[in-house]
Amino acid sequence: MPPAQVIARRVVLGLLRRMTAGRLELVEPDGQVHVLGPGAPPSALIHVRDSHAWTELLRGSRGLASSYVAGHWESPDPTAVVRVAARNAPALDAVRRRLTLVREPYQRLRGVGASATRSQSREDIRRHYDLGNDLFALMLDETLMYSAAYFDSPETSLHEASIAKLELVCDKLDLHADDHVIEIGAGWGGFALHAATTRGCRVTTTTISAEQHAHATEQVARAGLGDRVTVLAYDYRDLSGKYTALVSLEMIEAVGWKHFGTFLGKCSNLLEPDGRMLLQAITIDDRAYAVEKASKSFIRTSIFPNGCLPSQQVIAHHLARHTDLRMVHHQDLTDHYLTTLERWRTNMETHADRLTELGYDKPFQRLWRFYLCYSEAGFAERRIAVGQTLLAKPRWTGRVPAPSSRTQPPERVTVPG
């Protein structure tokens, strides 16, 4: 090995020997085996295939991902590898927090001119959501819902779980035919189509993804819902009007940490005085927020450019500072995301050959497999969570209905006139 890789190997192994949780079995190309960690679950196995892995692993999550994509290491269960890393992250976070106190003023200064402009936001969204509708059609289910589903049982199909999640949203908002809903983050139109079809309400939905907008518009026309569903291509900051209800399903993560207050303030301003809002958000542990916000992690650089997970504390802070919304109900769905991600990963692996035919080569598929494993591990270790929060304006006097256990869509609503 070149000297740099020899040194990197020593450093990596030295750090791994300081593990305080989990068990990691690491097999080198020459067959040498290292068993690291105190031994309690979670446990993982890594086969180092190329010595370049050592230098890459010094780059944190980005290096872990890039070396996996390049085939420098393999594992029968990459999710387990990331779970071991996540279990040991709190000790590293303490060091990173101290560094953050030094770096944050510089990062704030550096970021003054790097705010998420409308053009930058569209570019960030394009780099993920405009990778091709064929990709998402093969990974997701027929609804093309790209957010945590709701599984009533292990036997529930992904499609049934997506419908159950949409029912959960509609039930919590108590939607009826006289409602006009604004959805920020249309995706491929799944919620708008479901709400208009099953509740008879009007839905105005927006996305800044060209691919999503084209697909959603086509689906609305095909379903004959043009009188009830309007698909916009507006940045959320450019929305106007007043609505009885608002839905945002895992979109807040894309606005950037500087704009959490702007986003929630806009949501509040779009609602009638007695309106209500359903926010489904992926959040990070409050104690890790400052560290992650300041880092250039694998997810923020390679998967969701310039995204940032809020914490529950951060959301509460911005709600109090920028809105008159109050939280009336919260439901944790983290366990459901574990199953959702596992189903998405299975779909990608099942359709690997077809993805290759469509131009998604092996490195791309390895990148996305690692992304799904990385996310699954974060939820499994509760470093990140997902939940649905019902928020309401001051004049709202409704109640939160009991969650629906329905996994099949209700009858289509016929709206007079």
- Secondary structure (DSSP) of 23-45: EEEEE-TTS-EEEES-SPSPEEE
Q: Are 255 and 362 in contact (CB under 8 A)?
A: no
Question: CA angle 317-321-323, nearest 5°?
Answer: 110
Split into its structural domains, the chain has a count of 2
Q: Is residue 413 part of a domain?
A: no
User: Which of 87, 102, 126 represents a domain boundary (last residue)?
Assistant: 87
Residue 102's pLDDT is what? 45
Tokens of 95: 């060091």
Quick check: is 273 in a domain? Answer: yes
Task: Give me Rg for the CA atoms of the chain.
Answer: 22
> 71-103: b or e for each residue (b if 16 or more CB lie within 10 Å)?
ebbebeebbbbbbbbbbbbeeebeebeeebeee
Q: How far, in Å, CA of 243 to CA of 181, rounded?
A: 6
Q: Which two tokens stand for residue 43?
A: 């446990």
Whole-number Å distance between alpha carbons of 201 and 167: 14
DSSP-derived 3-state class of residue 245:
strand
- Residues 388, 261 share a domain: yes
Please state whether beta strands 271-284 and 243-249 pair in parallel, antiparallel, or not at all (unpaired): parallel
Longest dimension (CA), the chain: 77
Same domain, 177 and 304: yes
- Model pLDDT, residue 103: 46
Residue 414 lies in a domain: no
Beta strands in 333-398 (DSSP E): 384-392
The whole-number pLDDT of residue 412 equals 61
Contact 38, 21 (CB under 8 A): yes
The CATH code of the domain that includes 211 is: 3.40.50.150
> Digits of tens for pLDDT over the chain (417 positions)?
899 999 999 999 999 999 999 999 999 999 999 999 998 889 999 999 999 999 999 998 999 999 999 999 999 999 999 999 999 987 665 544 444 444 455 445 544 445 679 999 999 899 999 999 999 999 999 999 999 999 999 899 999 999 999 999 999 999 999 999 999 999 999 999 999 999 999 999 999 999 999 999 999 999 999 999 999 999 999 999 999 999 999 999 999 999 999 999 999 999 999 999 999 999 999 988 988 888 888 899 999 999 999 999 999 999 999 999 999 999 999 999 999 999 999 999 999 999 999 999 999 999 999 999 999 999 999 999 999 999 999 999 998 766 655 555 556 655 544
Question: Partners of 148 in the beta sheet?
Answer: none
**213 and 324 co-located in one domain:** yes
Domain contains 404: no
Residues 338 and 216 in one domain: yes
Task: Please state, in angstroms and rounded to a whole number, the distance separating the CA atoms of residues 344 and 346.
Answer: 5
| Same structural domain, 73 and 123 | no
SS3 85: helix
Q: Is 253 in the same domain as 371?
A: yes
Helices (H), 114-271: 118-129, 133-139, 158-173, 190-199, 210-222, 260-269
Q: What whole-number distance in Å separates Cα of residue 30 and Cα of residue 24?
A: 18
Q: Please give the pLDDT value at position 382.
A: 94
Task: Tell me the torsion sign for CA atoms 11, 17, 20, 23.
Answer: positive
Residue 241, exposed/middle/buried by CB under 10 A (0-12, 13-18, 19+)?
A: exposed
Instruction: Give the per-residue pLDDT at 199.
Output: 97
Whether 339 and 152 have beta carbons less than 8 Å apart is answered as: no
Residues 6+ apart with CB under 8 A from 57: 8, 12, 63, 64, 67
Same domain? For 229 and 140 the reply is yes
Q: How far apart are CA 203 and CA 196, in angstroms?
A: 7
- Domain boundaries, position 62: 3-87
Among left, alpha and beta (phi > 0; psi -120 to 50; other), residue 241 is left
Looking at the structure, tell me whether residues 251 and 193 fall in a common domain. yes
Q: What is the pLDDT of residue 98?
A: 46
Last residue of a domain, one of 64, 87, 110: 87
Q: What is the pLDDT of residue 1?
A: 84
